[in-house]
């Protein structure tokens, strides 16, 4: 629902409230001049902002105040309370702000502020003549948006092998695939954004190589594009099945908008689908296909779905949740061939009008490898996201960076991390030297159940469970040698935000 369309609740804040009724660190939702307004008192000041997150409309009043920012409970976007600027992805648009006056122990919301200039434009010591971004996904788009936001005015070229305008990839397995949102919600920005911001977006352009000495990228069509700074944000590609029958047109992968559209087209003439892989994407697809009333079978070698990431209790819950919604699991087995049916190694055969394969992804490292950049199960970058080649940066699914929280070099496949790395790389390409120090975060959605995860725990020796997983009200802390490495939660958004802030606090300390 767009701002202003919500039913107004609470007090008329234009008339004012006693200051003492809003203690420090507290928030209050009310309205002013026909719009919903959130009052926030923090660090001795009172701010009036829109209560709706500009990502998916999350309720900021249920979020966390951190200094002069407010973080969204749903996917941890953060907004500057003074200016409204979206200072952390996944939100990219600012929220509205109003004047606040304090007099005689009363606070009143005044007129809406002009959208302030976000950030002080960076005085770049380098002023690169041209920045080239390879990749039109989360990291590439967020980098381009940030470059223009902070006032970079020289040439900005974005090359994407995808034919579609940059889009909201997480939605491809969730609401868009389930048919519960229209296509309009999928592009991150419409075409005019790129024109108005002077972003030379070249779609359907595949970069085939890099010439480091000439400072050029080489396109498959023979063209070259020179750069002063280069961002590699080529993401990942789905791992394919290599069994007989896997190349048939009714066997789908899901990475791109075109993939999602192909599955939606297949749904129209289908009654039953097989999903191979009980990963996040596989199970989100299963949930969306159930939403479209298809019979869904999930085949995976795991004993429990997603146990490696979320542990056995959460895994059992996720399995039960999908079974309640009618998904049929075939675990501890794999497909061995696909014709009109999917033949499993355990001897079973399942009819499938189509198959969706979600068995993991591989980072697209060829450009970096062939150019001789340092690669270590990902493109190795420093804390400024710069690769081993000066002036070439990498962000998103391909980047392995020194994570300050875990103390390890890690690579993850999270939308929010990719966007935030794109933003940090943008600033660093302008000479800002902004280390990427944010704690990883991802979310996943299964029917009405969101799972939020902060931190990074490839292994753990203890899972501390607070609350009740079956009642969809829980926090799981993944610990190693007594230290919390990651926190997963269901409907405990504030705790998830607090865990993130606590991890960041430790990093800062």
- Footprint of ligand FES (CB under 6 A): 53, 55-56, 58, 72, 74-75, 77, 90-91
Residue 54 CB, nearest approach to ligand FES (Å): 8
Give just the sign of the alpha carbon dihedral 480, 485, 491, 497.
positive
Q: Give the pairing of strands 295-300 and 328-331.
A: parallel
* Subset of residues 314 to 373 that bind ligand FAD, contact rule: CB under 6 A: 364, 367
Sheet of 86-88: strand order equals 64-66, 69-71, 78-80, 86-88
Token output for 22: 């809003």
Q: Assign 454 to helix, strand or coil.
A: strand
Residue 435 CB, nearest approach to ligand FAD (Å): 19
Provide the CB-side half-sphere exposure for 161 (13 A, CA).
17
Residue 46 CB, nearest approach to ligand FAD (Å): 34
Q: Give 405-447 as a 3 state SS string.
A: CCCEEECCCCHHHHHHHHHHHHHHHCCCCCCCCCCCEEEEEEC
Rounded to a whole number of angstroms, the CA Rg of the chain reads 24
The interface region with ligand FAD, picked from 183-191, 334-342, 409-417, 458-466 by CB under 6 A, is: 409-417
From the list ligand FES, ligand FAD, none, which binds 338 (C-beta under 5 to 8 Å, kind-based)? none
The residue behind tokens 């939605």 is: 171
Q: Compose the 115-154 pattern: x for residues touching ligand FAD by CB under 6 A, - for all others.
A: -------------------xxxxxxx--------------
Is 84 one of the binding residues for ligand FAD (CB under 6 A)? Answer: no
Is 161 one of the binding residues for ligand FAD (CB under 6 A)? Answer: yes
Question: Are 69 and 79 in contact, with CB atoms under 8 Å apart?
Answer: yes
Of residues 234 and 496, the one with the C-beta less far from ligand FAD:
234
Is 254 one of the binding residues for ligand FAD (CB under 6 A)? Answer: yes
In 214-279, which ranges are continuous DSSP H helix?
Answer: 257-267
Question: Are 420 and 442 in contact, with CB atoms under 8 Å apart?
Answer: no
From the list ligand FES, ligand FAD, none, which binds 415 (C-beta under 5 to 8 Å, kind-based)? ligand FAD
Residue 135 CB, nearest approach to ligand FAD (Å): 3
Is 283 one of the binding residues for ligand FAD (CB under 6 A)? Answer: no
Of residues 236 and 298, the one with the C-beta less far from ligand FAD:
236
Q: Give 106-124 as a 3 state SS string.
A: EEEEEEECCCCCCCCCCCC
Q: How many residues bind ligand FAD (CB under 6 A)?
A: 36
Is 411 one of the binding residues for ligand FAD (CB under 6 A)? Answer: no
Residue 492 CB, nearest approach to ligand FAD (Å): 18
From the list ligand FAD, ligand FES, none, which binds 74 (C-beta under 5 to 8 Å, kind-based)? ligand FES
Provide the CB-side half-sphere exposure for 354 (13 A, CA).
24
Q: Which residue, judged by CB position, is nearest to ligand FAD in the bound state?
A: 137
Using CB under 6 A as the criterion, which residues of the chain lie in contact with ligand FAD when the complex forms? 134-140, 159-162, 169-170, 172-173, 206-207, 233-236, 254-255, 281, 364, 367, 396-397, 413-416, 418, 442-444
């Amino acid at each position: 629902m767009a701002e202003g369309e919500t039913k107004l609740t609470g007090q008329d804040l234009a008339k004012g409230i006693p200051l003492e009724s809003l203690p420090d660190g507290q928030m209050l939702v009310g309205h002013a001049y026909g719009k919903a307004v959130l009052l926030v008192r923090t660090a001795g000041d009172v701010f009036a902002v829109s209560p709706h997150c500009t990502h998916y409309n999350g309720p900021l009043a249920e979020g966390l105040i951190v200094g002069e920012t407010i973080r969204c409970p749903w996917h941890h976007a953060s907004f500057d309370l003074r200016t409204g600027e979206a200072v952390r992805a996944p939100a990219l648009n600012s929220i509205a702000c109003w004047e606040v006056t304090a007099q005689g122990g009363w606070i009143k919301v005044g007129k809406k502020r002009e959208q302030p200039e976000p950030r002080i434009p960076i005085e770049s010591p380098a002023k690169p003549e041209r920045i080239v971004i390879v990749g039109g996904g989360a990291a590439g788009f967020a980098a381009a948006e940030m470059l223009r936001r902070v006032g970079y005015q020289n040439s900005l070229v974005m090359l994407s092998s995808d034919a579609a305008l940059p889009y909201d990839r997480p939605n491809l397995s969730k609401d868009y695939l389930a048919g519960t949102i229209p296509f309009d919600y999928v592009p991150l920005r419409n075409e005019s954004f790129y024109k108005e911001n002077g972003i030379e977006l070249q779609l359907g352009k595949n970069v085939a190589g890099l010439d480091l000495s000439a400072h050029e990228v080489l396109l498959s069509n023979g063209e070259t594009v020179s750069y002063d700074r280069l961002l590699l944000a080529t993401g990942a590609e789905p791992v394919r099945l290599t069994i007989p029958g896997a190349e048939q047109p009714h066997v789908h992968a899901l990475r791109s908008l075109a993939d999602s559209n192909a599955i939606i087209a297949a749904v129209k003439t289908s009654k039953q689908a097989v999903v191979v892989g009980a990963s996040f994407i596989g199970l989100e697809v299963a949930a969306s296909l159930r939403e479209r009333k298809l019979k869904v079978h999930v085949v995976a070698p795991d004993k429990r779905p997603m146990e490696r990431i979320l542990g056995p209790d959460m895994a059992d819950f996720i399995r039960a949740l999908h079974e309640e919604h009618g998904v049929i699991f075939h675990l501890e087995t794999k497909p061995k061939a696909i014709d009109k049916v999917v033949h499993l190694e355990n001897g079973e055969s399942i009819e499938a009008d189509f198959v969706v394969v979600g068995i993991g992804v591989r980072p697209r490292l060829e450009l970096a490898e062939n150019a001789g950049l340092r690669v270590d199960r990902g493109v190795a970058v420093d804390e400024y996201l710069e690769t081993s080649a000066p002036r070439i940066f990498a962000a998103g699914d391909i980047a392995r960076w020194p994570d300050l929280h875990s103390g390890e070099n890690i690579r993850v496949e999270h939308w929010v991390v990719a966007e935030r790395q794109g933003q940090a790389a943008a600033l660093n390409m302008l000479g800002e030297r902004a280390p990427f120090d944010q704690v990883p975060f991802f979310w996943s959605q299964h029917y009405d159940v969101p799972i939020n995860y902060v931190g990074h725990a490839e292994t753990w020796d203890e899972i501390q469970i607070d609350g009740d997983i079956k009642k969809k009200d829980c926090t799981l802390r993944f610990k190693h040698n007594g230290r919390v490495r990651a926190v997963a939660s269901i409907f405990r958004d504030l705790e998830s935000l607090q865990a993130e802030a606590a991890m960041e606090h430790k990093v800062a300390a």
